[in-house]
Amino acid sequence: MKVSLFGKLIREARLSLGLTQQELAHRAAVSLATLQNIEAGRANPELNTVSRLAESVGYRLSLTPHQPRIDDLIPYGLPLMSETPGPRIRPTRQSLIEILNLSAPTWLNRRLGAREHDALIAFLSALRDHFPSVWKELAPNIRESMKKQRPVRAKLRRMALSFLAEYL
């Protein structure tokens, strides 16, 4: 049985409060079947349903802007060791483009450590030279700033390229 993270959270919170599914469903103004399906991972609830359930067990749903970190590119092939362990995502072309367009201009214009900067330049260089269709989808300011960068270490570039080739 597949259980979603949200379904598991709601079930654990409900049990810790000593509530039955029927009691929680009544509190949150959702049907018992909806709650059962959410807890079992068989539902795709609307945002207002998620919010009502969360608030009924003492949580508040909030959306905050996410500013990607340079480490977020490691699963895509950024040749850098991660200091923050976490789940490995299956990178997609579109998510890579979104992260780069959102954050690369900031990363290129602020002071990164020497290792992070070299890794980012190697990564972008591998994209530019071997994946032109992806390169064209990057923001113009990223492409322009790469013209000003010094050459990168070949080893870092090869490492980035081998990972990128796997996903793109």
Domain holding 45: CATH number?
1.10.260.40
9 belongs to a structural domain: yes
41 plus 81 within the same structural domain: no
Q: Tell me if 15 is assigned to some domain.
A: yes
Whether residue 140 sits in one domain with residue 75: yes
Reference 146, options 95, 98, 79, 100; nearest CA is 100
Query: How confident is the model over 106-155, as pLDDT tens digits?
Result: 888 777 888 888 899 999 999 999 999 999 999 999 998 888 888 878 89
Quick one: 50 and 74 in the same domain? no
Q: Between 138 and 86, name the one with better pLDDT.
A: 138
Residue 127 CA to its chain's centroid (Å)? 20
Q: Is the pLDDT of residue 97 over 50?
A: yes
- Are residue 115 and residue 159 in the same domain, yes or no? yes
When comparing pLDDT for 82 and 112, which is higher? 112
Q: Which residues contact 49 (CB under 8 A, 6 or more apart)?
A: 28, 30, 34, 38
Per the listing, tokens 């949200």 go with 6
Per-residue confidence (pLDDT) for residue 1, from 0 to 100: 45
Buried-state track 118-157, b at ≥16 Cβ within 10 A, e below 16: bbbbbbbbbbbeebeebbeebeeebeebbeeeeebeeebb
Q: What is d(CA 111, CA 106) in angstroms, rounded to the nearest whole number?
A: 9
Structural domains counted in the chain: 2
Grade residue 164 by pLDDT with cuts at 50, 70 and 90: confident
**Could you tell me if 74 and 157 lie in one domain?**
yes
Q: What is the mean pLDDT of the chain?
A: 86
143 & 89 share domain: yes
pTM comes to 0.58
Domain span including residue 46:
5-56
